[in-house]
Structure 1
Amino acid sequence: MVKVRTAEQHDIPAINKTATMAWHDAYQNIMAANTIAQFLTAAYSEERLEKRLNDSLFLVAEEQDEVVAFANFINGRELYLAAIYVMPGFQRNNIGAALLEQGINHFEDYDELFVEVASDNQRARNFYKKHGFELVREYEEEIFGETVVTGLLKKQLNKE
């Protein structure tokens, strides 16, 4: 059974491994290998992850005491899902849904949750659609010299 908890510093190597495996799986046919490698180095360095663990809500999901997924929520004027990744062998087991739900439940003062996703990442787009996200707009952005079409998605949070 999956256990979701707040990430701790000792989880950094497992988070990095999860990000690397999930990114290669999700983006291997969308972005160049060099772009993926540069992004992972920048976004998932130990220093960057330490900062994210300290400055935002960072959750991990464990299966038999092994980190198999994570989600990172950033809150300010708006609530933003910065990342949610599940290791390839553990996808489609509602682990992403559990992380999403726990993250949303942590923040009671927001009416909306935003996330950005590469428009060509159809599995991610389907996941977000299944969980009530709608496309706000699409735009081109440059990631380490490569142009990617990104979708900004929004989920209305129905607080009762």
Structure 2
Amino acid sequence: MSGITYRDASPADAAALAVLARRTFTDTFGHLYTPENLAAFLASHTDEAWTALLADPARHIHVAEVDGELAGYISVGPPTLPIVPDGRPIELRQLYVLKPWQGEGVAAHLMDWAIARGRALGADAMYLSVFVDNARARRFYDRYGFTFVQTYAFMVGTHADEDHILRLAL
């Protein structure tokens, strides 16, 4: 689809990324949680938190933009998942695309960027977690060759979701 541009995020994107992160998470998963648990989770997506992430040299964030508005983003950085990896892993932290742009190749472009960035940083594996009932995302990751490692309790407020940790050899 034309009109989509891609670039590395800059500090000036902090507020837009905070809004995008809250919106995409709520659109995708908001119906699963009590208002209190959803609010507790979304409270971590502030302008200040995104400003700090964008200033962290170990975090790499790439965005998709349409007509000056963010349509999606991906973030990679050092592993935080409860894994015992060998080698030099990197973690895909977030990959979200607004609904109007899903199915338009945005996620694939962002994923290709993340894999290339991981390799350029010297990583030999990429890890991520995906909600067990997110069949669309799981099919997407399967196409890239990610394989199951273990289950993981992803916390949204006091609610524990069952996620699968996946791995891709780079």
Give TM-score scaled by structure 1 length.
0.87
Question: Residue 9 of structure 1 contacts residue 50 of structure 1 at CA under 8 Å; is this kept in 2?
Answer: yes
The counterpart of 2:71, out of the listed 63, 68, 83, is 68
What 5-or-longer segments of structure 1 have no aligned partner? none
* Percentage of pairs with the same residue: 25
Q: Please give the per-residue CA displacement for 1:86-134, whole angstroms capped at 9, x wherever unaligned.
A: 1111111111111111122123212211001221222222221222212
1:86 aligned onto 2:121: no
Matched position secondary structure for 2:73: strand
> What letter is aligned with 2:64?
A
1:25 aligned onto 2:20: no
Residue 139 of structure 1 and its aligned partner are, at CA, apart by 2.9
- Cα RMSD (Å) of the superposition? 1.8
Matched position secondary structure for 1:28: helix
Aligned residues: 156
Counterpart mapping for 1:126-141 below 5 A = 126-141=139-154
Q: Provide the rounded CA distance (Å) in 2 between the counterparts of 1:30 and 1:125.
A: 18
Q: Provide the rounded CA distance (Å) in 1 between the counterparts of 2:114 and 2:143.
A: 17
Matched position secondary structure for 2:20: helix
Give TM-score scaled by structure 2 length.
0.83
Question: Residue 74 of structure 1 contacts residue 80 of structure 1 at CA under 8 Å; is this kept in 2?
Answer: yes
Aligned to 1:125: 138
Q: Provide the rounded CA distance (Å) in 2 between the counterparts of 1:126 and 1:35.
A: 27
Counterpart mapping for 1:1-160 below 5 A = 1=2, 2-42=4-44, 44-55=45-56, 56-75=59-78, 77-108=88-119, 109-157=122-170
CA 1:140–1:107: 2 relative to 1, 3 Å: closer
Question: Residue 15 of structure 2 contacts residue 46 of structure 2 at CA under 8 Å; is this kept in 1?
Answer: no
Q: Please give the per-residue CA displacement for 1:54-80, whole angstroms capped at 9, x wherever unaligned.
A: 211011111222210011110364200
What 5-or-longer segments of structure 2 have no aligned partner? 80-87
